[in-house]
């Protein structure tokens, strides 16, 4: 069945797709269709900040796992990717960080992305940001993406920040200001005790526009081409199969896993790989699915000598109390994103910018696959990762069936430098837990145990306990070399009528969480699409 055409068809309703739907439909004469494979964001846990802990698996994700990781004991690591309107911004930990200016200058000066220096992209960060506290040259206050302070950080989060200072890591009230290094409490993408996803901030306020159509539950099967021009999208919704025309452009925003999968299903990608699966080659573009770059996070977990963390709310009477406090006053532990505290620091004295990021969780076992503490006790978790890993992996098709999951191989720890830096992160994490402000609350460090002492022990621990930090990027990278998939205007090289406008176009991973940078990319892309750039 062929439907009436739209000017723009956006494939993927995650963070980037919601931004584009909002910005492009500002022109009432432009018809915009947004297609999302997942459902609406109706589940109440999506909108409760603390609900993040229940969102890393289950029906709002695709249920992916990696290919066996040869440098991580051949483990198949759970790889959460959102399957709901709003994408990752609907299920993430709501941490608001933007990366370091050197990341974007590197894109422009070393990786062929003209027009993407920090000076170039900073206005788009500011345009997107609606900060309730910070303002000035480094922050926006009127943007759709709500950003605020955690109302009442947990006692263990405060102790974490104090312990960092006792170790010599200075307090930093703003990780998105002139200086990234330091420790503090993260700002989060929340407003009035509720999550502000891209769906909430960008999409919901404009759903009544007559020129914007949003369809959920749509599995895109392929993009259709007339020669080298993208002209339509074939998708299924339930048992119905449909094709929709795009009169101006198709904008692919399905994320660093979904976007290369859709491109390859459409005949755009490494020709030999496509032929293996019987897919007709529309355009041999070898960089599609290459260059996968993700943060490899390693947790340490401590058991507390009392019920000082969010784990105490696992008990029914405390859970009831927390629920009542939230319903009546929109306050209390449910307003916590769990991952409250953080730090950016150095793995060695010779670094000019931080090469490690830390996330402190005021609980234990909050996420799927993370070690916990004995039942009935309370714990805390500290995660660290190398912010600019050198290891690169791939996303490949498992088959030509659109419903088949792709083969995701992040190739974690393939580069020795990644392992060395990651181990330093674990060592620093242990030192933070040993400082007075936290140590007085800790009964024992459960992971790693006392048997981890030597460099070889730490390396073995990293290989066994490291996992994704949910920041896959770079699989349709932007640039000018032969492995680039899009040019600096997000246009797919060698094709017409199609752009990629999400985290997959990053040429290399930024030194922070990736939701805010993804939204920035879509903001900038919207101006280029409309000719305002």
Which two tokens mark 281?
């080659």
The answer to whether residue 471 is catalytic is yes
Whether the CB-CB separation of 249 and 8 falls below 8 Å is answered with yes
List, in sequence order, every residue forming a beta bridge with 226; answer none if it has no partner. Answer: 229
Strands 356-361, 341-345: parallel, antiparallel or unpaired by DSSP? Answer: antiparallel
Alpha carbon separation from 531 to 398, 524, 525, 528 (Å, rounded): 38, 11, 10, 5
Which two tokens mark 81?
């990717």
The Cα–Cα gap between 44 and 36 comes to 20
Alpha carbon separation from 6 to 36, 170, 243, 491, 495 (Å, rounded): 16, 53, 11, 19, 19
What is the three-state SS of 16-76? HHHHHHHHHCCCCCCCEEEECCCECCCCHHHHCHHHHHHCCCCCCECCEECCCECCCCCEC
Burial class (CB in 10 A: 0-12, 13-18, 19+), 493: middle
43, 283, 359, 471: the catalytic one is: 471
> Helices 15-24 and 515-530 sit at what angle, rounded to 10 degrees?
30
The three-point CA angle 173-174-180 to 5° equals 115
φ and ψ at 301, to 5 degrees?
-130, 130
Which two tokens mark 111?
């990786």
The Cα–Cα gap between 513 and 107 comes to 17
Q: What is the set of active-site residues?
A: 471
């Amino acid at each position: 069945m062929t439907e009436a055409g739209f000017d723009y068809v956006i494939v993927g309703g995650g963070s980037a797709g919601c931004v584009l739907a909002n910005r492009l439909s500002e022109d009432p004469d432009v018809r915009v269709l947004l297609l999302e494979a997942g459902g609406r964001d109706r589940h109440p846990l999506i909108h409760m900040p603390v609900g993040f802990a229940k969102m890393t698996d289950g029906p709002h994700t695709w249920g992916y796992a990696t290919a066996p990781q040869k440098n991580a004991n051949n483990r198949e690591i759970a790889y959460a990717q959102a399957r709901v309107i709003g994408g990752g911004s609907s299920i993430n930990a709501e941490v608001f960080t933007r990366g370091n200016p050197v990341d974007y200058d590197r894109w422009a000066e070393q990786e062929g992305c003209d027009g993407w220096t920090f000076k170039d992209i900073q206005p788009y960060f500011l345009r997107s940001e609606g900060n309730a506290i910070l303002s000035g040259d480094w922050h926006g206050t009127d943007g759709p993406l709500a950003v605020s302070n955690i109302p009442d950080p947990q006692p263990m989060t405060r102790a974490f920040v104090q312990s960092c200072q006792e170790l010599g890591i200075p307090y930093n009230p703003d990780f998105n200001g002139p200086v990234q290094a330091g420790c503090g409490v993260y700002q989060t993408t929340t407003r009035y005790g509720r999550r502000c996803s891209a769906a909430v901030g960008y999409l919901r306020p404009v759903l009544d526009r007559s020129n914007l159509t949003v369809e959920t539950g749509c599995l895109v099967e392929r993009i259709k081409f007339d020669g080298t021009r993208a002209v339509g999208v074939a998708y299924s919704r339930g048992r119905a199969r449909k094709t929709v025309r795009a009169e101006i452009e198709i904008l692919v925003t399905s994320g660093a896993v979904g976007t290369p999968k859709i491109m390859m299903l459409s005949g755009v990608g490494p020709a030999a790989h496509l032929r293996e699966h019987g897919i007709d080659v529309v355009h041999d573009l070898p960089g599609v699915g290459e260059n996968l770059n993700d943060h490899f996070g390693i947790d340490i977990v401590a058991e507390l000598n009392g019920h000082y963390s969010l784990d105490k709310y696992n008990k029914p009477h405390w859970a009831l109390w927390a629920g009542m406090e939230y319903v009546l006053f929109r306050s209390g532990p449910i307003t916590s994103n769990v991952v409250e505290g953080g730090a950016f620091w150095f793995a060695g004295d010779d670094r000019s910018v931080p090469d490690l990021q830390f996330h402190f969780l005021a609980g234990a076992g909050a996420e799927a696959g993370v070690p916990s503490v004995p039942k009935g006790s309370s714990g805390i978790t500290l995660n660290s990762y190398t912010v600019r890993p050198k290891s690169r992996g791939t996303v490949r098709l498992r088959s030509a069936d659109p419903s088949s999951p792709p083969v995701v191989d992040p190739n974690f720890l393939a580069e020795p430098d990644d392992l060395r830096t990651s181990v330093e992160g674990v060592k620093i994490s242990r030192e933070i837990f040993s400082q007075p402000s936290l140590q007085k609350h800790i009964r024992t460090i459960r992971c790693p145990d006392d048997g981890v002492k030597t460099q070889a022990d730490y390396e073995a621990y990293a290989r066994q306990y490291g996992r994704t930090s949910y920041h896959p990027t770079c699989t349709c990278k932007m640039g000018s070399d032969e492995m680039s998939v899009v040019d600096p205007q997000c246009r797919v090289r060698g094709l017409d009528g199609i752009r990629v406008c999400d985290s997959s176009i990053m040429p290399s991973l930024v030194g922070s969480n990736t939701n805010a940078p993804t939204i920035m990319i879509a903001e900038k892309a919207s101006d280029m699409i409309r000719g305002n750039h």
